[in-house]
Amino acid sequence: MTNMDKTTGPVRLAVLGQEPTERTRHPSWVKARLPSGEAFFKVRDLVRGQALHTVCESASCPNIGECWNRRALTIMILGNICTRSCKFCDVPTGKPLPPDPDEPRRVALALAELGLVHTVITCVDRDDLKDGGAAHWAQTIREVKTHCPNMTLEVLTGDFKGNTDDVDTVLSAEPDVFAHNLETVPALSRQVRVQASYPRSYKVLSHAKTRGAVTKTGLMLGLGEDIAQVKDVLHEVADLGVDIVTLGQYLRPSKTHLPIARYVTPDEFAELRQWALGLGIPHVESGPLVRSSYHADGQAELVRALRGRTSRP
C-alpha cells in the first residue's frame, strides 16, 4: 500500500502487487508503510513455501509492511474461501475446499522457523463443516504448541454458529488467548456481518470467559455508529471481563463493500482508549490502523501474566 501525501495524494487499497479496485482520499493519519525489507520478503517466501494463507494478504491489511518487517503475521487456516459474505471483509466468498489435513503441521513448522514470542492464527468461516472447523483448529493449536513451546498463541475464531461445544473443542487445545470479534455495535451488526449476530458473538465470548480463557475482541469504527454506542459496547465487554480490546478505523476494500460513514480522528481513538482502560479492561489498542492482530506480539508478557504463569510448562 502506498503512503498518502498529507494533503492531496490517494492511498492504494491493495497490496503485494495487486491493482486497487478504487482510490479514496483518506485523511493524513490513515497511511501505511510500503511492503519492503529483508524480513518482509523472508516472511512472504516462508508463507508461500509452506502453501499457507494469511489474513494479512487475503484481507488486504494496510499494516502488512510494518508487521511483516517485524516478522509478525496472522496465518489464516481452513483455506482462503469463506462461506460468509460480510460487507466489510475482502476475503473471497464461495464454496471452500475440504480442510487440508497437513495444514496444522505446516503452520507449526512455519511459526517454529520464525521463532516468534507470540502469534495470532485466524480462519475463514466454515459453515459447511459440521463443527465449523473446530477439530481442525484444535489440531493446529496442538501442533503449534508442540513445535513452539515458548511461544504464546492467540486464536481469532468465528462464532461456530453459537455452538459452545465447538468453542470447547478449540479451548480444549489450550490456546493462550481466545479472540472473537464483535466487529461493530449491535444496531449495525446484521447490516455489517449479514450471517452473524451481536448476541451470538457475545455468547461465544461469554462462554470462553466462563471456561477461564484469556479473551479478546475488536470493533471497527466509522461504519455509522456513534461514540455513545461504542461506549455501551465497551461497558458490556468490560462487565464480561474481556481482557484485550482493539479499536480501529474501517477502511473500504472496494466499491462493493460498505462505504465509510466517517473517519474517526486519532484524538477520538486516544480518548476511547483511556475511557476503556478506566472501565478496567487490562489492555486496549486503539488507533486508525489498528486491526485485530495489530501489535499482538507486544502483548506476550501481558498474556502470560493474565494466565498466571511466566512460561509454558
Q: Domain ranges in the chain? A: 11-306
Q: How far apart are the first and last CA of the chain?
A: 41
Contact 81, 125 (CB under 8 A): no
Higher pLDDT, 111 or 20: 111
Q: CA angle 65-67-73, nearest 5°?
A: 115
3-state secondary structure of 109: helix
Give the pLDDT confidence of 216-233 residue by residue, as tens digits. Answer: 999 999 999 999 999 999
pTM: 0.83
CA distances from 7 to 4, 25, 224, 269 (A): 8, 9, 25, 21
Distance of alpha carbon 15 from its chain centroid, rounded?
18
Give the pLDDT confidence of 233-245 residue by residue, as tens digits. Answer: 999 999 999 999 9
**CATH top-level class of 11-306:** alpha beta
Give the pLDDT confidence of 62-109 residue by residue, as tens digits. Answer: 656 566 666 667 888 998 899 998 888 878 889 999 999 999 999 999
| Stated length of the chain | 313
